[in-house]
Chains A and B, each alone.
Chain A
Amino acid sequence: MWAFLHKLASPKHFYRITGAWIPWLGAATAALLIAGLYLGLWIAPTDYQQGDSYRIIFVHVPAAWMSLFIYVFMAVAGGIGLIWNIKMADIMAAGSAPIGASFTFLALATGSIWGKPMWGTWWVWDARLTSELILLFLYLGYIALQAAIEDPRIAARAGAILAIVGSVNIPIIHYSVEWWNTLHQGPTVTRFDKPAMHISMLWPLLLMALAFQLYFFTVLLLRARSELLWRERRSRWVQELFGNSDKPNLSKSQEATP
Protein backbone atom coordinates (compact mmCIF):
# COMPACT_ATOMS: atom_id res chain seq x y z
CA MET A 1 0.00 0.00 0.00
CA TRP A 2 2.65 2.49 1.04
CA ALA A 3 4.88 1.53 -1.85
CA PHE A 4 1.95 2.08 -4.21
CA LEU A 5 1.19 5.50 -2.73
CA HIS A 6 4.82 6.46 -3.02
CA LYS A 7 4.79 5.50 -6.64
CA LEU A 8 1.62 7.50 -7.17
CA ALA A 9 3.24 10.57 -5.65
CA SER A 10 5.94 10.61 -8.31
CA PRO A 11 4.79 12.50 -11.41
CA LYS A 12 6.02 9.98 -13.95
CA HIS A 13 4.25 7.01 -12.37
CA PHE A 14 1.19 9.05 -11.60
CA TYR A 15 0.85 9.92 -15.25
CA ARG A 16 1.26 6.31 -16.34
CA ILE A 17 -1.00 4.71 -13.71
CA THR A 18 -3.86 7.20 -13.90
CA GLY A 19 -3.78 7.04 -17.68
CA ALA A 20 -4.93 3.45 -17.35
CA TRP A 21 -7.64 4.39 -14.85
CA ILE A 22 -9.32 7.14 -16.78
CA PRO A 23 -11.26 5.05 -19.35
CA TRP A 24 -12.64 2.87 -16.55
CA LEU A 25 -13.56 5.83 -14.38
CA GLY A 26 -15.18 7.57 -17.30
CA ALA A 27 -17.18 4.49 -18.27
CA ALA A 28 -18.33 3.93 -14.68
CA THR A 29 -19.36 7.59 -14.40
CA ALA A 30 -21.41 7.38 -17.59
CA ALA A 31 -23.06 4.10 -16.55
CA LEU A 32 -24.02 5.41 -13.10
CA LEU A 33 -25.22 8.70 -14.52
CA ILE A 34 -27.48 6.98 -17.05
CA ALA A 35 -28.81 4.52 -14.44
CA GLY A 36 -29.40 7.28 -11.88
CA LEU A 37 -31.12 9.59 -14.36
CA TYR A 38 -33.29 6.79 -15.72
CA LEU A 39 -34.38 5.65 -12.27
CA GLY A 40 -34.83 9.21 -11.09
CA LEU A 41 -36.67 10.68 -14.07
CA TRP A 42 -38.77 7.74 -15.22
CA ILE A 43 -39.05 5.06 -12.53
CA ALA A 44 -39.25 7.03 -9.28
CA PRO A 45 -42.84 7.88 -8.31
CA THR A 46 -44.27 11.37 -8.40
CA ASP A 47 -44.09 13.15 -5.07
CA TYR A 48 -47.49 13.59 -3.41
CA GLN A 49 -46.69 17.16 -2.37
CA GLN A 50 -44.36 18.60 -4.94
CA GLY A 51 -45.43 16.68 -8.04
CA ASP A 52 -42.77 16.07 -10.65
CA SER A 53 -40.78 19.18 -9.92
CA TYR A 54 -39.09 17.47 -7.00
CA ARG A 55 -37.08 15.43 -9.51
CA ILE A 56 -34.48 18.18 -9.70
CA ILE A 57 -33.35 16.83 -6.33
CA PHE A 58 -31.40 14.14 -8.18
CA VAL A 59 -29.05 16.81 -9.50
CA HIS A 60 -29.40 19.44 -6.79
CA VAL A 61 -28.59 17.42 -3.68
CA PRO A 62 -25.59 15.49 -5.08
CA ALA A 63 -24.18 18.77 -6.42
CA ALA A 64 -24.55 20.36 -2.99
CA TRP A 65 -22.86 17.37 -1.35
CA MET A 66 -20.02 17.56 -3.87
CA SER A 67 -19.53 21.27 -3.26
CA LEU A 68 -18.79 20.57 0.40
CA PHE A 69 -16.81 17.40 -0.23
CA ILE A 70 -14.52 19.07 -2.76
CA TYR A 71 -13.76 21.97 -0.42
CA VAL A 72 -12.70 19.54 2.31
CA PHE A 73 -10.76 17.52 -0.26
CA MET A 74 -9.00 20.70 -1.37
CA ALA A 75 -8.09 21.64 2.19
CA VAL A 76 -6.81 18.14 2.98
CA ALA A 77 -4.80 17.92 -0.25
CA GLY A 78 -3.43 21.41 0.39
CA GLY A 79 -2.47 20.42 3.93
CA ILE A 80 -0.69 17.30 2.67
CA GLY A 81 1.16 19.40 0.12
CA LEU A 82 2.07 21.95 2.78
CA ILE A 83 3.34 19.42 5.30
CA TRP A 84 5.02 16.76 3.18
CA ASN A 85 5.88 18.85 0.13
CA ILE A 86 4.23 16.46 -2.29
CA LYS A 87 3.91 18.00 -5.71
CA MET A 88 0.97 15.83 -6.71
CA ALA A 89 -1.05 16.97 -3.69
CA ASP A 90 -0.54 20.60 -4.76
CA ILE A 91 -1.72 19.83 -8.26
CA MET A 92 -4.76 17.95 -6.93
CA ALA A 93 -5.74 20.82 -4.64
CA ALA A 94 -5.40 23.47 -7.32
CA GLY A 95 -7.13 21.28 -9.90
CA SER A 96 -10.18 20.55 -7.78
CA ALA A 97 -11.07 24.19 -7.06
CA PRO A 98 -12.74 25.03 -10.40
CA ILE A 99 -14.66 21.73 -10.32
CA GLY A 100 -15.84 22.50 -6.80
CA ALA A 101 -16.87 25.99 -7.83
CA SER A 102 -18.87 24.56 -10.74
CA PHE A 103 -20.68 22.09 -8.48
CA THR A 104 -21.44 24.91 -6.05
CA PHE A 105 -22.82 26.97 -8.89
CA LEU A 106 -24.84 23.99 -10.12
CA ALA A 107 -26.32 23.47 -6.66
CA LEU A 108 -27.26 27.15 -6.43
CA ALA A 109 -28.74 27.25 -9.93
CA THR A 110 -30.80 24.07 -9.56
CA GLY A 111 -31.87 25.22 -6.09
CA SER A 112 -33.17 28.46 -7.48
CA ILE A 113 -34.96 26.66 -10.34
CA TRP A 114 -36.54 24.41 -7.72
CA GLY A 115 -37.32 27.33 -5.46
CA LYS A 116 -39.36 29.21 -8.05
CA PRO A 117 -42.29 26.74 -8.20
CA MET A 118 -41.99 25.68 -4.53
CA TRP A 119 -41.49 28.96 -2.72
CA GLY A 120 -42.59 31.30 -5.50
CA THR A 121 -39.25 33.08 -5.66
CA TRP A 122 -35.89 32.54 -7.32
CA TRP A 123 -33.86 33.50 -4.32
CA VAL A 124 -34.39 33.89 -0.60
CA TRP A 125 -31.81 34.74 2.02
CA ASP A 126 -32.27 31.36 3.58
CA ALA A 127 -29.58 29.74 5.70
CA ARG A 128 -28.60 26.95 3.36
CA LEU A 129 -28.70 29.06 0.23
CA THR A 130 -26.67 31.79 1.85
CA SER A 131 -24.01 29.44 3.16
CA GLU A 132 -23.77 27.81 -0.25
CA LEU A 133 -23.33 31.24 -1.83
CA ILE A 134 -20.55 32.04 0.64
CA LEU A 135 -18.95 28.71 -0.22
CA LEU A 136 -18.95 29.83 -3.85
CA PHE A 137 -17.19 33.04 -2.77
CA LEU A 138 -14.62 30.99 -0.87
CA TYR A 139 -13.93 28.94 -4.01
CA LEU A 140 -13.66 32.07 -6.15
CA GLY A 141 -11.26 33.65 -3.65
CA TYR A 142 -9.11 30.54 -3.74
CA ILE A 143 -9.07 30.52 -7.55
CA ALA A 144 -8.27 34.23 -7.66
CA LEU A 145 -5.39 33.77 -5.23
CA GLN A 146 -4.01 30.89 -7.28
CA ALA A 147 -4.25 32.99 -10.42
CA ALA A 148 -2.54 35.99 -8.82
CA ILE A 149 0.62 34.18 -7.75
CA GLU A 150 3.04 33.34 -10.53
CA ASP A 151 5.20 30.70 -8.87
CA PRO A 152 3.16 27.46 -8.65
CA ARG A 153 5.03 26.40 -5.49
CA ILE A 154 4.08 29.57 -3.59
CA ALA A 155 0.60 29.60 -5.10
CA ALA A 156 -0.01 26.08 -3.82
CA ARG A 157 1.19 26.92 -0.31
CA ALA A 158 -0.78 30.16 -0.08
CA GLY A 159 -3.84 28.38 -1.43
CA ALA A 160 -3.44 25.62 1.14
CA ILE A 161 -3.43 28.13 4.01
CA LEU A 162 -6.53 29.82 2.63
CA ALA A 163 -8.34 26.51 2.09
CA ILE A 164 -7.55 25.35 5.63
CA VAL A 165 -8.69 28.63 7.17
CA GLY A 166 -11.79 28.51 4.99
CA SER A 167 -12.58 24.95 6.02
CA VAL A 168 -12.47 25.98 9.70
CA ASN A 169 -14.91 28.71 8.80
CA ILE A 170 -17.37 26.58 6.86
CA PRO A 171 -19.11 24.96 9.85
CA ILE A 172 -19.17 28.36 11.58
CA ILE A 173 -20.78 29.97 8.54
CA HIS A 174 -23.17 27.09 8.20
CA TYR A 175 -24.45 27.31 11.76
CA SER A 176 -24.37 31.09 11.94
CA VAL A 177 -26.67 31.44 8.96
CA GLU A 178 -28.73 28.49 10.19
CA TRP A 179 -29.52 30.33 13.40
CA TRP A 180 -29.92 33.58 11.58
CA ASN A 181 -32.75 32.70 9.21
CA THR A 182 -34.15 29.50 7.83
CA LEU A 183 -36.74 28.41 5.28
CA HIS A 184 -35.07 25.49 3.52
CA GLN A 185 -36.52 22.04 4.12
CA GLY A 186 -34.77 19.88 6.70
CA PRO A 187 -32.42 17.07 5.74
CA THR A 188 -34.22 14.12 4.19
CA VAL A 189 -31.40 11.63 3.72
CA THR A 190 -28.72 12.15 6.34
CA ARG A 191 -30.82 11.56 9.40
CA PHE A 192 -29.78 9.22 12.12
CA ASP A 193 -33.06 7.32 12.15
CA LYS A 194 -34.75 6.10 8.99
CA PRO A 195 -34.43 8.33 5.92
CA ALA A 196 -37.63 10.29 5.35
CA MET A 197 -37.52 9.39 1.68
CA HIS A 198 -39.07 6.43 -0.01
CA ILE A 199 -36.59 3.80 -1.13
CA SER A 200 -37.53 4.25 -4.81
CA MET A 201 -36.48 7.90 -4.56
CA LEU A 202 -33.46 7.25 -2.38
CA TRP A 203 -31.82 4.81 -4.76
CA PRO A 204 -31.54 7.13 -7.75
CA LEU A 205 -30.31 9.87 -5.45
CA LEU A 206 -27.49 7.72 -4.10
CA LEU A 207 -26.63 6.52 -7.60
CA MET A 208 -26.42 10.11 -8.79
CA ALA A 209 -24.27 11.03 -5.80
CA LEU A 210 -21.86 8.22 -6.65
CA ALA A 211 -21.88 9.23 -10.32
CA PHE A 212 -21.00 12.82 -9.40
CA GLN A 213 -18.24 11.57 -7.13
CA LEU A 214 -16.73 9.47 -9.92
CA TYR A 215 -17.16 12.35 -12.36
CA PHE A 216 -15.16 14.55 -9.99
CA PHE A 217 -12.29 12.09 -9.80
CA THR A 218 -12.30 11.51 -13.55
CA VAL A 219 -12.14 15.21 -14.36
CA LEU A 220 -9.67 15.87 -11.57
CA LEU A 221 -7.30 13.22 -12.92
CA LEU A 222 -7.61 14.64 -16.43
CA ARG A 223 -6.85 18.12 -15.14
CA ALA A 224 -4.00 16.89 -12.98
CA ARG A 225 -2.45 15.00 -15.88
CA SER A 226 -2.45 17.98 -18.22
CA GLU A 227 -1.19 20.29 -15.48
CA LEU A 228 1.54 17.77 -14.73
CA LEU A 229 2.66 17.66 -18.37
CA TRP A 230 2.84 21.45 -18.42
CA ARG A 231 4.82 21.70 -15.20
CA GLU A 232 7.16 18.87 -16.14
CA ARG A 233 7.47 19.86 -19.80
CA ARG A 234 11.24 20.19 -19.53
CA SER A 235 11.77 16.85 -17.79
CA ARG A 236 13.11 13.85 -19.63
CA TRP A 237 10.09 11.57 -19.17
CA VAL A 238 7.72 14.04 -20.82
CA GLN A 239 10.13 14.60 -23.67
CA GLU A 240 10.46 10.87 -24.19
CA LEU A 241 6.70 10.46 -24.07
CA PHE A 242 6.14 12.97 -26.85
CA GLY A 243 9.16 12.19 -28.93
CA ASN A 244 11.16 15.34 -28.13
CA SER A 245 8.68 17.57 -29.89
CA ASP A 246 9.76 20.40 -27.62
CA LYS A 247 13.29 20.50 -28.97
CA PRO A 248 12.79 22.09 -32.43
CA ASN A 249 10.64 24.81 -30.93
CA LEU A 250 13.33 25.54 -28.39
CA SER A 251 16.04 25.87 -31.02
CA LYS A 252 13.78 28.03 -33.16
CA SER A 253 13.18 30.45 -30.37
CA GLN A 254 16.89 30.51 -29.66
CA GLU A 255 17.56 31.43 -33.27
CA ALA A 256 15.01 34.18 -33.10
CA THR A 257 16.71 35.88 -30.20
CA PRO A 258 19.85 37.65 -31.42
Chain B
Amino acid sequence: MLNSPLLAFWAVLRRDLVLAYRHRGELANPMLFFLMIVSLYPLGISPEPDILRIIAPGVVWIAALLAALFSLENLFRNDFQDGTLEQLLLSPHPLAVLILAKVLAHWLVSGLPMLLLAPLLGLLLDLPAAGQWALIETLALGTPLLSLIGAIGTALTVGLQRGGVLLTLLVMPLYIPVLIFATNAVTAATVGMPISGQLYFLASLLALALTLVPIALAAAVRISLS
Protein backbone atom coordinates (compact mmCIF):
# COMPACT_ATOMS: atom_id res chain seq x y z
CA MET B 1 0.00 0.00 0.00
CA LEU B 2 3.08 2.21 0.06
CA ASN B 3 2.46 3.56 -3.41
CA SER B 4 -1.27 3.94 -3.08
CA PRO B 5 -1.40 7.72 -3.70
CA LEU B 6 0.39 7.01 -6.97
CA LEU B 7 -2.18 4.35 -7.85
CA ALA B 8 -4.96 6.79 -7.02
CA PHE B 9 -3.25 9.37 -9.24
CA TRP B 10 -3.25 6.92 -12.15
CA ALA B 11 -6.85 5.92 -11.49
CA VAL B 12 -8.08 9.52 -11.60
CA LEU B 13 -5.97 10.26 -14.67
CA ARG B 14 -7.30 7.19 -16.48
CA ARG B 15 -10.88 7.97 -15.54
CA ASP B 16 -10.66 11.53 -16.82
CA LEU B 17 -9.01 10.44 -20.05
CA VAL B 18 -11.66 7.77 -20.62
CA LEU B 19 -14.40 10.33 -19.95
CA ALA B 20 -12.79 12.73 -22.41
CA TYR B 21 -12.51 9.96 -25.00
CA ARG B 22 -16.21 9.14 -24.61
CA HIS B 23 -17.07 12.76 -25.43
CA ARG B 24 -14.97 13.03 -28.54
CA GLY B 25 -17.18 15.74 -30.03
CA GLU B 26 -16.53 18.10 -27.18
CA LEU B 27 -12.87 17.23 -27.22
CA ALA B 28 -12.40 18.98 -30.55
CA ASN B 29 -14.16 22.19 -29.54
CA PRO B 30 -11.25 23.99 -27.83
CA MET B 31 -9.00 23.06 -30.75
CA LEU B 32 -11.43 24.47 -33.29
CA PHE B 33 -11.76 27.56 -31.13
CA PHE B 34 -7.96 27.91 -31.06
CA LEU B 35 -7.66 27.53 -34.85
CA MET B 36 -10.54 29.89 -35.49
CA ILE B 37 -9.17 32.72 -33.36
CA VAL B 38 -5.81 32.45 -35.09
CA SER B 39 -7.44 32.47 -38.52
CA LEU B 40 -9.46 35.58 -37.62
CA TYR B 41 -6.33 37.70 -37.30
CA PRO B 42 -5.28 37.64 -40.97
CA LEU B 43 -8.88 38.48 -41.84
CA GLY B 44 -9.14 41.24 -39.25
CA ILE B 45 -5.70 42.86 -39.50
CA SER B 46 -3.97 42.07 -42.74
CA PRO B 47 -3.06 39.04 -44.86
CA GLU B 48 0.39 40.54 -45.60
CA PRO B 49 3.05 37.94 -44.68
CA ASP B 50 5.34 40.64 -43.29
CA ILE B 51 2.73 41.82 -40.82
CA LEU B 52 1.61 38.29 -39.99
CA ARG B 53 5.16 37.30 -39.15
CA ILE B 54 5.39 40.14 -36.63
CA ILE B 55 2.09 39.48 -34.90
CA ALA B 56 2.27 35.66 -35.11
CA PRO B 57 3.76 34.98 -31.62
CA GLY B 58 1.16 37.13 -29.90
CA VAL B 59 -1.68 35.82 -32.01
CA VAL B 60 -0.92 32.17 -31.32
CA TRP B 61 -0.33 32.76 -27.65
CA ILE B 62 -3.42 34.85 -27.04
CA ALA B 63 -5.45 32.21 -28.86
CA ALA B 64 -3.85 29.58 -26.62
CA LEU B 65 -4.75 31.58 -23.52
CA LEU B 66 -8.37 31.92 -24.61
CA ALA B 67 -8.65 28.29 -25.65
CA ALA B 68 -7.21 27.20 -22.30
CA LEU B 69 -9.74 29.33 -20.43
CA PHE B 70 -12.54 28.03 -22.62
CA SER B 71 -11.65 24.42 -21.91
CA LEU B 72 -10.91 25.03 -18.22
CA GLU B 73 -14.45 26.09 -17.50
CA ASN B 74 -15.58 22.47 -17.50
CA LEU B 75 -12.59 21.08 -15.63
CA PHE B 76 -14.49 20.58 -12.37
CA ARG B 77 -18.06 21.41 -13.35
CA ASN B 78 -19.39 17.93 -14.15
CA ASP B 79 -17.58 16.38 -11.21
CA PHE B 80 -18.98 19.07 -8.98
CA GLN B 81 -22.53 18.53 -10.19
CA ASP B 82 -22.59 14.73 -9.96
CA GLY B 83 -20.76 14.61 -6.62
CA THR B 84 -17.52 13.04 -7.83
CA LEU B 85 -15.55 15.96 -6.46
CA GLU B 86 -16.97 15.33 -3.01
CA GLN B 87 -15.96 11.68 -3.25
CA LEU B 88 -12.41 12.74 -4.14
CA LEU B 89 -12.43 14.95 -1.07
CA LEU B 90 -13.53 12.06 1.11
CA SER B 91 -10.91 9.65 -0.21
CA PRO B 92 -8.00 8.83 2.09
CA HIS B 93 -5.48 9.98 -0.52
CA PRO B 94 -4.17 13.55 -0.49
CA LEU B 95 -6.56 15.76 -2.41
CA ALA B 96 -3.69 17.68 -4.02
CA VAL B 97 -2.43 14.51 -5.74
CA LEU B 98 -5.87 13.56 -7.07
CA ILE B 99 -6.52 17.03 -8.40
CA LEU B 100 -3.11 17.21 -10.01
CA ALA B 101 -4.13 14.09 -11.93
CA LYS B 102 -7.25 15.89 -13.17
CA VAL B 103 -5.18 18.88 -14.26
CA LEU B 104 -2.73 16.59 -16.07
CA ALA B 105 -5.64 14.92 -17.86
CA HIS B 106 -6.92 18.34 -18.84
CA TRP B 107 -3.54 19.28 -20.26
CA LEU B 108 -3.30 16.01 -22.21
CA VAL B 109 -6.62 16.63 -23.94
CA SER B 110 -6.32 20.41 -24.43
CA GLY B 111 -2.72 21.59 -24.12
CA LEU B 112 -1.04 18.77 -26.00
CA PRO B 113 -3.23 19.10 -29.13
CA MET B 114 -2.40 22.82 -29.22
CA LEU B 115 1.25 21.82 -29.26
CA LEU B 116 0.58 19.50 -32.19
CA LEU B 117 -1.28 22.24 -34.06
CA ALA B 118 1.57 24.71 -33.59
CA PRO B 119 3.56 23.79 -36.74
CA LEU B 120 0.45 24.23 -38.85
CA LEU B 121 -0.22 27.64 -37.34
CA GLY B 122 3.37 28.67 -37.82
CA LEU B 123 3.01 27.74 -41.47
CA LEU B 124 -0.22 29.70 -41.82
CA LEU B 125 1.33 32.79 -40.26
CA ASP B 126 4.56 32.46 -42.21
CA LEU B 127 6.89 32.01 -39.23
CA PRO B 128 10.53 31.17 -40.09
CA ALA B 129 11.84 27.79 -38.94
CA ALA B 130 13.60 29.16 -35.85
CA GLY B 131 10.38 30.82 -34.76
CA GLN B 132 8.52 27.55 -35.35
CA TRP B 133 10.76 25.72 -32.95
CA ALA B 134 10.53 28.47 -30.39
CA LEU B 135 6.74 28.37 -30.67
CA ILE B 136 6.70 24.63 -30.04
CA GLU B 137 9.12 24.91 -27.14
CA THR B 138 7.24 27.74 -25.45
CA LEU B 139 3.92 25.97 -25.92
CA ALA B 140 5.41 22.80 -24.42
CA LEU B 141 6.50 24.70 -21.32
CA GLY B 142 3.65 27.19 -21.24
CA THR B 143 0.45 25.21 -21.80
CA PRO B 144 0.92 23.10 -18.62
CA LEU B 145 1.29 26.41 -16.78
CA LEU B 146 -1.96 27.63 -18.30
CA SER B 147 -3.73 24.47 -17.10
CA LEU B 148 -2.26 24.69 -13.60
CA ILE B 149 -2.87 28.39 -12.99
CA GLY B 150 -6.28 28.36 -14.63
CA ALA B 151 -7.36 25.40 -12.53
CA ILE B 152 -7.13 27.58 -9.41
CA GLY B 153 -9.62 30.04 -10.85
CA THR B 154 -11.85 27.18 -11.98
CA ALA B 155 -11.77 25.59 -8.53
CA LEU B 156 -12.70 28.89 -6.88
CA THR B 157 -15.65 29.54 -9.20
CA VAL B 158 -17.00 26.01 -9.67
CA GLY B 159 -19.84 26.45 -7.19
CA LEU B 160 -21.04 29.72 -8.70
CA GLN B 161 -23.85 30.24 -11.17
CA ARG B 162 -22.14 32.47 -13.71
CA GLY B 163 -18.54 31.49 -13.30
CA GLY B 164 -17.43 32.00 -16.89
CA VAL B 165 -16.79 35.74 -17.07
CA LEU B 166 -15.54 35.82 -13.51
CA LEU B 167 -13.06 33.06 -14.35
CA THR B 168 -11.60 35.22 -17.12
CA LEU B 169 -11.27 38.15 -14.74
CA LEU B 170 -9.48 36.05 -12.13
CA VAL B 171 -7.15 34.06 -14.34
CA MET B 172 -6.10 36.45 -17.13
CA PRO B 173 -3.88 38.67 -14.93
CA LEU B 174 -2.16 35.56 -13.61
CA TYR B 175 -1.44 34.41 -17.18
CA ILE B 176 0.43 37.57 -18.12
CA PRO B 177 3.98 36.46 -17.19
CA VAL B 178 3.57 33.30 -19.31
CA LEU B 179 2.34 35.39 -22.22
CA ILE B 180 5.23 37.84 -21.95
CA PHE B 181 8.04 35.31 -21.71
CA ALA B 182 6.59 33.03 -24.38
CA THR B 183 5.91 35.71 -27.00
CA ASN B 184 9.22 37.35 -26.20
CA ALA B 185 11.01 34.05 -26.86
CA VAL B 186 9.25 33.46 -30.18
CA THR B 187 9.87 37.02 -31.34
CA ALA B 188 13.54 36.79 -30.37
CA ALA B 189 13.90 33.46 -32.17
CA THR B 190 12.48 34.82 -35.43
CA VAL B 191 15.25 37.41 -35.56
CA GLY B 192 17.89 34.84 -34.65
CA MET B 193 18.54 35.75 -31.03
CA PRO B 194 19.13 33.17 -28.28
CA ILE B 195 16.05 32.32 -26.26
CA SER B 196 17.39 30.04 -23.55
CA GLY B 197 16.85 32.76 -20.92
CA GLN B 198 13.12 32.97 -21.58
CA LEU B 199 12.83 29.19 -21.79
CA TYR B 200 14.61 28.74 -18.46
CA PHE B 201 12.28 31.27 -16.97
CA LEU B 202 9.21 29.46 -18.26
CA ALA B 203 10.66 26.18 -16.99
CA SER B 204 11.26 27.59 -13.53
CA LEU B 205 7.73 29.02 -13.46
CA LEU B 206 6.48 25.57 -14.38
CA ALA B 207 8.50 23.97 -11.58
CA LEU B 208 7.18 26.54 -9.12
CA ALA B 209 3.60 26.02 -10.27
CA LEU B 210 3.89 22.23 -10.19
CA THR B 211 4.98 22.31 -6.55
CA LEU B 212 2.75 25.08 -5.19
CA VAL B 213 -0.41 25.07 -7.28
CA PRO B 214 -1.68 21.63 -6.11
CA ILE B 215 -1.73 22.91 -2.52
CA ALA B 216 -3.71 26.01 -3.49
CA LEU B 217 -5.97 23.86 -5.67
CA ALA B 218 -6.78 21.45 -2.87
CA ALA B 219 -7.61 24.38 -0.57
CA ALA B 220 -9.74 26.03 -3.27
CA VAL B 221 -11.71 22.82 -3.92
CA ARG B 222 -12.32 22.39 -0.20
CA ILE B 223 -13.64 25.96 0.02
CA SER B 224 -15.91 25.55 -2.98
CA LEU B 225 -17.38 22.37 -1.52
CA SER B 226 -17.89 23.75 1.99
A→B interface (CB under 8 Å): 82, 134, 137-138, 140-141, 144-145, 148-149, 153-154, 157-158, 161-162, 164-166, 168-169, 172-173, 176-177, 179-180
CB nearest neighbor in B for A138:
B173
Report yes or no: A137 in contact with B160, Cβ–Cβ below 8 A.
no
List B residues 132-180 near A (Cβ within 8 Å).
152, 156-157, 160, 162-163, 166, 169-170, 172-174, 176-177, 180
CA of A157 to CA of B159, assembled, Å: 14
Complex A-B, nearest 9 residue pairs according to Cβ-Cβ distance, in ascending order: A176-B177, A137-B173, A157-B223, A141-B170, A141-B169, A176-B180, A172-B177, A158-B156, A134-B173
Report yes or no: A162 in contact with B170, Cβ–Cβ below 8 A.
yes
Q: Can you name 6 A-B residue pairings with CB atoms under 8 Å?
A: A141-B169, A145-B157, A154-B224, A162-B170, A166-B173, A176-B177
Cβ distance A174 to chain B, nearest Cβ, rounded Å: 9
Asked if B220 is at the interface of the complex by the 8 Å CB criterion, the answer is yes
CB nearest neighbor in B for A172:
B177
Report yes or no: A176 in contact with B176, Cβ–Cβ below 8 A.
yes
CB nearest neighbor in B for A171:
B177
Report yes or no: A145 in contact with B174, Cβ–Cβ below 8 A.
no
Asked if B205 is at the interface of the complex by the 8 Å CB criterion, the answer is yes
Asked if B184 is at the interface of the complex by the 8 Å CB criterion, the answer is yes
CB nearest neighbor in B for A142:
B170
Asked if B212 is at the interface of the complex by the 8 Å CB criterion, the answer is yes
CB nearest neighbor in B for A155:
B223
Cβ distance B29 to chain A, nearest Cβ, rounded Å: 25
CA of A165 to CA of B219, assembled, Å: 12
* Interface residue from B157, B174, B180 paired with A169 (Cβ < 8 Å): B174
Q: Classify the secondary structure of B's interface with A.
A: helix
Chain B residues within an 8 Å CB radius of A149:
160
Asked if B216 is at the interface of the complex by the 8 Å CB criterion, the answer is yes
Asked if B181 is at the interface of the complex by the 8 Å CB criterion, the answer is yes
Cβ distance B150 to chain A, nearest Cβ, rounded Å: 11
Cβ distance B55 to chain A, nearest Cβ, rounded Å: 15
Q: Contacts A140-B169, A148-B166, A165-B152; is A173 near B176 (CB within 8 Å)?
A: yes
Size class of the B contact interface (CB-based, 8 Å): 20 to 34
Report yes or no: A144 in contact with B226, Cβ–Cβ below 8 A.
no
Report yes or no: B223 in contact with A161, Cβ–Cβ below 8 A.
yes
CB nearest neighbor in A for B220:
A161
CA of A180 to CA of B188, assembled, Å: 12
User: Interface centre among A141, A144, A157, by most B CB within 10 Å?
Assistant: A141
Report yes or no: A134 in contact with B176, Cβ–Cβ below 8 A.
yes
Q: Contacts A144-B169, A148-B160; is A180 near B184 (CB within 8 Å)?
A: yes
Q: Contacts A141-B169, A161-B219; is A173 near B177 (CB within 8 Å)?
A: yes
15 further interface pairs, Cβ-Cβ under 8 Å (given A134-B176, A157-B226, A179-B184): A82-B219, A137-B173, A138-B173, A141-B170, A145-B170, A148-B162, A154-B223, A158-B156, A158-B223, A161-B223, A162-B152, A165-B152, A172-B177, A176-B181, A176-B201
CA of A166 to CA of B174, assembled, Å: 7
Q: Contacts A145-B166, A180-B184; is A158 near B172 (CB within 8 Å)?
A: no
Report yes or no: A172 in contact with B157, Cβ–Cβ below 8 A.
no
CB nearest neighbor in A for B178:
A176
Chain B residues within an 8 Å CB radius of A168:
212
Chain A residues within an 8 Å CB radius of B219:
82, 161
Cβ distance A120 to chain B, nearest Cβ, rounded Å: 25
* Interface residue from B163, B174, B177 paired with A165 (Cβ < 8 Å): B174
